[in-house]
Amino acid sequence: QKEVEQNSGPLSVPEGAIASLNCTYSDRGSQSFFWYRQYSGKSPELIMFIYSNGDKEDGRFTAQLNKASQYVSLLIRDSQPSDSATYLCAVKVASGSARQLTFGSGTQLTVLP
Amino acid sequence: GAVVSQHPSRVICKSGTSVKIECRSLDFQATTMFWYRQFPKQSLMLMATSNEGSKATYEQGVEKDKFLINHASLTLSTLTVTSAHPEDSSFYICSARDRQGGQPQHFGDGTRLSIL
């Protein structure tokens, strides 16, 4: 079982719709959860991070964390074509570990105009 | 916001050449920097963790003698790919963590390495 799992997609949504991206993780001791956006040929860009159960909103983005279910999601409201990218879920898997972040394989999102 | 500068952005060179990639934190001090490699359509894979003033910690399967890491100051880490071969062609990305802020990590723009 992979430590961080994401559906690879591609996920297509029409412009203006809500895009829902999901991520599960295996280590119950995980403490911090991050969503990065990566455009083709570019390095990842941090969108949001969340530490506590519940929802965290930032503009059109909402991160949702459920530690009991080991599940973290990212919702993008009013999706725009410029949101088309690969979204990487990253988890800090263990306190004090030399490996700081473990990344999922990413979900490719396409927002159709 | 925090900025990480990575240089060069692209390298094309012959097999057997050694290539040095620099990663700088521009407006914060980073005691720890991370080096990742990403092959096409795959996720980021951590290669090593670079600690200022001490030896880097390499992930399993990463050859420390091939991928030399130096972290001589709080703002600079370098990765040298020694005697590069075509299979080393990849997208190399560094990231740094603010010593005061802890999380999250900030990424450089990456270096696309192509070995002919």
Distance in angstroms (rounded) separating the CA atoms of residues B23 and A53:
34
Mean pLDDT, chain A, whole residue set: 90
Confidence of residue A106 (pLDDT cuts 50, 70, 90): very high
**Region A45-63 average pLDDT:** 93
Q: Is A34 on the interface with B (CB under 8 A)?
A: yes
Q: Is A106 on the interface with B (CB under 8 A)?
A: yes
**B17 to chain A, closest Cα gap in Å:** 23
pLDDT at A6 over 60: yes
B14 burial type by CB count under 10 A (0-12 exposed, 13-18 middle, 19+ buried):
exposed
Question: Are B70 and B64 in contact, with CB atoms under 8 Å apart?
Answer: no
Contact across the interface for A34 and B49, Cβ inside 8 Å: no
pLDDT at A96 over 60: no
**How many CB atoms sit inside 10 A of residue A106's CB?**
26
**Region A91-101 average pLDDT:** 65
Q: Is B93 on the interface with A (CB under 8 A)?
A: yes
Distance in angstroms (rounded) separating the CA atoms of residues B109 and A16:
29
Please write down the HEC assignment for all residues of B91-104.
EEEEEEECCCCCCC
Can you say whether the dihedral through the CA atoms of B51, B56, B58, B62 is positive or negative? Answer: positive
Quick one: tokens of A42?
């570019």
Distances (CA, A) of B48 to A59, A108, B10, B110: 34, 26, 21, 15
Contact list in A for residue B6 (CB cut-off 8 A) is 43
Half-sphere exposure of A43 (CA within 13 A, CB side): 25
Instruction: Give the pLDDT score at B30.
Output: 84
Instruction: Give the pLDDT score at B100.
Output: 61
Tens-level pLDDT at each residue, chain B (116 residues): 568 999 999 999 999 999 999 999 988 888 889 999 999 878 888 899 988 888 899 999 999 999 999 988 889 999 999 999 999 999 999 998 876 655 567 899 999 999 99
Contact list in B for residue A102 (CB cut-off 8 A) is 46
Question: Are B20 and B78 in contact, with CB atoms under 8 Å apart?
Answer: yes
Contact list in A for residue B44 (CB cut-off 8 A) is 44, 88, 103
Instruction: Give the pLDDT score at A72.
Output: 97
Q: Is B105 on the interface with A (CB under 8 A)?
A: yes
**Region A89-106 average pLDDT:** 75
Bridge partner list, A91: A33, A102
Q: How do the residues of chain A divide into helix, strand and coil, expressed in percent and rounded to 5?
A: 5, 55, 45
- CB-nearest to B42 from A44, A45, A105 is A105
